[in-house]
Structure 1
Amino acid sequence: METAELEPQVLANRLGVEFYLVRQNNTIGCVITIAALEAHFWLESRASDARILKTFRNGYGRICAIAERKWLARPAATRLELTPADFARR
């Protein structure tokens, strides 16, 4: 996979941000929904792509930690989707 492909991107349907995790020479595609960014990262509704990506980058540490935890729980997964429920306090 090329480096440019690994850059986070707003999905064409604008329902989420696609990003990739790499662990032990394995790469998995992930999507965090716009609903999750709005609910847990203070993204305003109908934000521009630039604002969506800025919000994603600002929350990347937490987003990445949740995605890695989900990947560890589902090691056979080929793709992960992070929704508001993944960020709810337990």
Structure 2
Amino acid sequence: MATFELEPQVQDDRRGVSFSLARPHGFVKCVIAVKALQEYFWLEPNADDGRILKAFRNGYGRIRAIAERKVLAHPTTHLELTAEDFARP
């Protein structure tokens, strides 16, 4: 039986933040790249875990909106968000 952490967590390799997105039929496990947080959410390079999570929480509304749009367009159980997902056309 799979379990999902509901609280965001910095990945062990520090390349991303993992979080869960609630959907009508379960959860989608998501990861946003730290590079995306640096480029679009004012995270400074070499930030510690606390600052990474703060940048994530501050940008969570936009992060969640992008994640939900991607899941609607391409249903999946695992989603990775990169800096390109936040670029404006």
What is the TM-score with the length of structure 2 in the denominator?
0.93
CA shift digits 1:18-72 (9 cap, x unpaired) = 0000011320000000000000001000000000000000000000000000000
Task: Give the Cα separation in 1 of the matches to 2:56 and 2:83.
Answer: 14
Letter in 2 for 1:14: R
Count, aligned residues: 87
Letter matched to residue 51 of structure 1: R
Distance 1:60 1:25 in 2: 22
The match for 1:32 is 32
Could you tell me which runs of 5 or more consecutive residues in structure 2 were left unpaired when the two chains were aligned.
Answer: none
Q: Quote the Cα distance in structure 2 between the aligned partners of 1:39 and 1:81.
A: 16
The percent identity for this pair of structures is: 61
* Structure 1 gaps, min length 5: none
> Which residue does the alignment assign to 1:9?
9
Alignment of 1:58-77 (within 5 A): 58-75=58-75, 77=76
What is the identity, as a one-letter code, of the residue corresponding to 1:24? P
What is the Cα-based RMSD across aligned positions, in Å?
A: 1.0
What is the SS of the residue equivalent to 1:47?
coil
Which stretches of structure 1, 4 residues or longer, exceed 6 Å deviation after superposition? none
Q: Which amino acid aligns with 1:89?
A: R
Q: 1 or 2, which has the higher helix percentage? A: 1
CA displacement at 1:78 relative to structure 2:
2.0
* Alignment match, 1:46: 46
**Is the counterpart of residue 78 in structure 1 residue 53 in structure 2?**
no
